[in-house]
Amino acid sequence: MRTQVAIIGGGPAGLLLGQLLHNAGIDTVILEKHSRSHVLRRIRAGVLEQGTVDLLREAGVGARMDRVGFTHNGVYLAFKNSSFRIDFKEAIGRSVTVYGQTEVTRDLYDTRAAAGAQTLHGVSDVELHDVEREAPYVTFTHDGQGHRLDCDYIAGCDGFHGVSRKSIPANILIEYEKIYPFGWLGVLSETPPASDELIYANSDRGFALASMRNANLSRYYIQVPLSDTVEDWSDAAFWDELRRRLPVATAEAMQTGPSIEKSIAPLRSFISEPMRYGRLFICGDAAHIVPPTGAKGLNLAASDVHYLYQALSRFYRHQDVAAIATYSHRALRRVWHSVRFSWTMTNLLHRFPEQTMFDQRLQESELAFLKSSKAAQTAFAENYTGLPF
Ligand code: APR
Ligand code: PHB
């Protein structure tokens, strides 16, 4: 088999890149380890920055998002049992769109299938070869048979556990990591959201987040110790704990119901450099992970895709390799900004096991500053709604 760009991984990063390249007349094959339904079972954050929304529209996959997504012009931060709102529109004239990552992925799969572009599901034994040479290729097993895919470039969009990053020699790859000493227990329930906009809460009992998917689908999270399992948390125990962490008025008005999904995710910050090695590009979660505080994961994948799409389309249109040479640098500059913001928000809102009263007063002082300072709110809004690509 031969293609122009071999894409490893059919998550949002691989699919979005594949769609943009397909629209530009560049041939791609996506190799995905799992089935489509398996990929679509993953529940992830649901807040899209303006740049992500624009890129999805540019790729021609924005119609359903524009129809059923919700524009949010602000967010609530809660501490010491009261909350305040940061008005994005007033601060910087921008907003975010609430539309689940699962829906984004579904739209991307549907559009790719309609376009007739090739996606192979259930591939295994994926190996990358000769990425530092002129003619790289990928070998893999599909339907019990070995295959070889020759290509010009390889896009490694295969998530944190993928093989692409590991194909960069150890003496070149630098990895930065921070593991946080807690996880998020998330619950999805068919109940109306507790609030018109998201509430991020710093409480004495730990962090809580009230989020949503639509008028009758809510998504909530609470910070839990890493040793907890889903079995430790009955629905009743979850709602009880969530209520204690949200502002009283919200907690009293909140409607609860059976959970339709419940999972625990650990929190980490991770960045690997460089994001290009020869003819291999690393993109999305394969290159970096952020804690979910701030919902930057999918948005960072989208900005990587933006830079990579620009680089590849310039190469195929004008034989211009300048943007290919600078992809890693440009993508990483924005990655570090989002990593910093997610880290700041995580530190501001969670209870850390070793936290002293001094640390706690600092958190409260920073939140009080954010509540009263227009300049601080502007900086928050600028980061939350997404720095420009
Ligand atoms: N071969 C082929 N496919 C693979 C392999 C492999 N060896 N390893 C992993 N994959 C696939 C996974 O099955 C998955 O579908 O790569 C895909 C990677 O998708 P994601 O993990 O969703 O990563 P990405 O597309 O970069 O999306 C980033 O999704 O993970 C969230 O929080 C993250 O919101 C962010 C966004
Ligand atoms: C979500 O809706 O799942 C969500 C929203 C905001 C976050 C994280 C997750 O920061």
Please report whether residue 171 resides in a domain: yes
User: Residue 175 above 90 pLDDT?
Assistant: yes
Is the CB of residue 97 below 6 angstroms from any atom belonging to ligand 2?
no
Separation in Å, CA 179 to CA 132, 285, 366: 32, 16, 23
Question: Residue 256: which domain range?
Answer: 185-267+351-385
Q: Which of 282, 249, 2 is nearest to 158 (CA)?
A: 282
| Domain co-membership, 211 together with 357 | yes
Q: Would you mind telling me the total number of residues written for the chain in this entry?
A: 389
Is 308 contained in some domain? yes
In a domain, 121, yes or no: yes
Same domain assignment for residues 67 and 214 = no
3-state secondary structure of 308: helix
Q: Which atom of ligand 1 is nearest to the CA of 15?
A: 25
Residue 178 tokens, joined: 């921070």
Q: How far is the CA of 241 from the centre of ligand 1 (A)?
A: 32
Q: What is the pLDDT of residues 341-356, one digit of tens each?
A: 999 999 999 999 999 9
**Mean residue pLDDT across the chain:** 97
Residue 85 within a domain: no
Residues 25 and 114 in one domain: yes
Spatial contact of 277 and 284, defined as CB atoms under 8 Å apart: no
Choose, from 22, 296, 306, 350, the residue flagged as catalytic. Answer: 296
Residue nearest atom 19 of ligand 1, based on CA coordinates: 11
- For residues 32-45, give the mean pLDDT: 90
Instruction: Kindly give the number of the ligand 2 atom that is closest to the alpha carbon of 98.
Output: 2
Q: Does residue 359 form part of some domain?
A: yes
The CATH number for 193's domain is 3.30.9.10
Mutate to test the pocket of ligand 2, among 189, 209, 220 (most ligand atoms within 8 A of CB): 209
Helices (H) and strands (E) in the chain, counts: 12, 20
| Residue 239 domain flag | yes
Q: Tell how strand 153-156 and strand 280-282 pair up.
A: parallel
pLDDT band at 43 (very low <50, low <70, confident <90, very high): confident
Other CB atoms within a 10 A radius of the CB of residue 82 amount to 10
pLDDT value for 118: 97
pLDDT tens sequence across 216-264: 999 999 999 999 999 999 999 999 999 999 999 999 999 999 999 999 9
| Cα 13 from Cα 72, distance rounded (Å) | 24
Q: Count of domains in the chain? A: 2
Q: Is 147 known to be catalytic?
A: no
Check pLDDT > 90 for residue 309: yes
Cis peptide before 258 (omega within 30 of 0): no
The pLDDT > 90 percentage for the chain reads 97
Q: Are residues 72 and 133 in the same domain?
A: yes
CATH number of residue 302's parent domain: 3.50.50.60
Domain co-membership, 193 together with 321: no
Look at residue 46 in the predicted model and tell me its pLDDT: 87
pTM of the model: 0.97
Please name the residue whose Cα sits nearest to atom 5 of ligand 2. Answer: 45
Q: Is residue 168 located within the same domain as residue 189?
A: no
Pocket (CB within 6 angstroms of ligand 1)? 8-14, 31-34, 39, 44, 101, 123, 126, 157-159, 161-163, 284-286, 297-298, 301
Domain-embedded: residue 9: yes
Q: What is the mean pLDDT of residues 139-168?
A: 98
Same-domain check for residues 236 and 366? yes
Name the one residue in this structure whose structure tokens are 């529940």. 43
- How crowded is residue 277: how many other Cβ atoms within 10 Å of its Cβ? 21
In this structure, the answer to whether residues 249 and 373 fall within a common structural domain is yes
pLDDT at position 42, please? 81
> What gap in Å lies between CA 246 and CA 367, rounded to an integer?
16
Q: Whose CA is nearest to atom 9 of ligand 2?
A: 45
Is 115 in the same domain as 249?
Answer: no
Helix %, strand %, coil % of the chain (to 5): 40, 30, 30
Q: Which of 193, 247, 291, 292 is catalytic?
A: 292
Ligand 2 within 6 A of CB of 46: yes
Whether the CB of 193 sits within 6 Å of ligand 2: no
Tokens coding 73: 């012009």
Task: Specify the 3-state DSSP secondary structure of 210.
Answer: strand
Q: Is 176 a catalytic residue?
A: no
Write out pLDDT tens, residues 123-132. Answer: 999 999 999 9
- Do 246 and 273 lie in a common domain? no
* Residue at 216 is within a domain: yes
Please state, in angstroms and rounded to a whole number, the distance separating the CA atoms of residues 252 and 61: 39
For a ligand 2 pocket test, name from 219, 259, 300 the mutation site with the most ligand atoms within 8 angstroms of its C-beta.
219
65, 149: one domain: yes
Percent of the chain with pLDDT over 70: 100
Q: Which atom of ligand 2 is nearest to the CA of 295?
A: 10
Q: Looking at 109, 153, 200, 221, which residue is catalytic?
A: 200
Q: Does residue 76 have an active-site annotation?
A: no
- In a shared domain, residues 194 and 277: no
DSSP lists the bridge partners of residue 96 as 72
Q: Which atom of ligand 2 is nearest to the CA of 212?
A: 2
Compute the distance from residue 96 Cα to the ligand 2 centre, in Å.
12
52 C-alpha vs ligand 2 centroid, how far in Å? 15
> Six-digit token pair at 218?
């809510």
Task: Report the sign of the C-alpha dihedral through residues 305, 310, 313, 319, in that order.
Answer: negative
